[in-house]
């Protein structure tokens, strides 16, 4: 089996210019990684994931991608709220980081805000087209909570452009959403189609129940 590492040669390995934070030199290596990757904690690893019924396929798909044990660079995790999808995508970022592969965590809302910030910018600053190109060419793109934000046709159109580009170049692209696939397809048949290509992608339902409800009961 060909491993995911073959796809990394298409993109530079240096930290993306999307990471605007100034990383203070006195920070530890772990803190610098956490800040640059957009993570709030380094505790969300595969080893700390709480295995419950229904999460097995999602866990296995995420771990294989993080470890490079798959030839499929596209992964879409979907399912109900609170069942560990965010934990898994953050674990992928941490595992990739251990392998020297840079990735950044985005919520969909934050990514769309990043794009909208380029609508009216001064000359010399990244405009919308520049920002779309950055997302297209990022070594790894991780997008969480797709569908939670108040969306527009403009947002979905630009997301389709990004996904299409990354699909053509077989770039590692990870999306997590609470949306049902039928509802997601109503928003964008093209995106669902790309993640349904079994030669390139894994489309995985996380069937686990909400952890938070389980704590209450």
CATH number of the domain within which 51 lies: 3.40.50.300
Cβ(104)–Cβ(38) below 8 Å:
yes
d(CA 170, CA 136): 11
**Residue 3: inside a domain, yes or no?**
no
pLDDT level of residue 154 (50, 70, 90 thresholds): very high
Higher pLDDT residue, 11 or 72? 72
pTM of the predicted model as reported, rounded to 2 decimal places: 0.86
Q: What is the pLDDT of residues 57-112, one digit of tens each?
A: 999 999 999 999 999 999 999 999 989 999 999 999 999 999 999 999 999 999 99
Total domains in the chain come to: 1
Diameter over CA atoms, the chain: 56
Asked if residue 195 is part of any domain, the answer here is: yes
- pLDDT of 3 over the 60 cut: no
User: For residue 1, is it within any domain?
Assistant: no
What does the block give as tokens for 55? Answer: 């999460």
Place 7 in a pLDDT band, splitting at 50, 70 and 90.
very low
Residue 19 CA, distance from chain mean position: 15
Whether 207 is covered by a domain: the verdict is yes
Q: Which long-range contacts (CB under 8 A, 24 or more apart) does 179-184 make?
A: 179/78, 179/146, 179/147, 180/78, 181/78, 183/147, 184/78, 184/146, 184/147
3 state DSSP class of 154: helix
Tell whether 15 is covered by a domain: no
> How long is the chain?
217
Domain that holds residue 86: 32-216
Dump pLDDT digits (tens) for 196-217. Answer: 999 999 999 999 887 656 554 4
Residue 48 is assigned to a structural domain of this protein: yes
Residue 181 lies in a domain: yes
Give per-residue pLDDT as tens, 37-63.
999 899 999 999 999 999 999 999 999
pLDDT greater than 50 at residue 8 = no
Task: Please state, in angstroms and rounded to a whole number, the distance separating the CA atoms of residues 170 and 172.
Answer: 7
Instruction: List the one residue out of 18, 176, 30 whose CA is nearest residue 94.
Output: 30
CB 145 within 8 A of CB 113: no
Say if 16 falls within a structural domain.
no
């Amino acid at each position: 089996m060909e491993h995911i590492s073959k796809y990394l040669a298409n993109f530079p390995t240096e930290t993306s210019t999307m990471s605007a934070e100034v990383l203070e030199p006195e920070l530890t290596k772990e803190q610098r990684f956490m800040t640059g990757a957009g993570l709030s904690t380094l505790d969300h690893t595969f080893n700390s994931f709480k295995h419950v019924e229904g999460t097995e396929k999602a866990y296995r798909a995420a771990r294989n991608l993080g470890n490079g044990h798959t030839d499929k660079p596209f992964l879409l995790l979907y399912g109900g709220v609170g069942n560990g999808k965010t934990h898994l995508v953050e674990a992928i970022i941490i595992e990739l980081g251990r392998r020297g592969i840079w990735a950044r965590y985005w919520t969909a809302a934050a990514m769309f805000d990043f794009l909208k910030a380029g609508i009216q910018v001064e000359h010399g600053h990244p405009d919308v087209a520049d920002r779309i190109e950055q997302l297209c060419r990022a070594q790894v793109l991780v997008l969480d909570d797709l569908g939670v934000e108040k969306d527009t046709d403009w947002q979905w159109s630009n997301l389709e452009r990004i996904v299409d580009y990354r699909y053509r170049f077989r770039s590692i692209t990870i999306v997590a959403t609470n949306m049902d696939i039928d509802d997601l397809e109503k928003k964008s048949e093209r995106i669902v189609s790309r993640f349904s290509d079994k030669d390139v992608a894994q489309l995985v339902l996380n069937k686990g129940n909400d952890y938070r409800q389980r704590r209450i009961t």
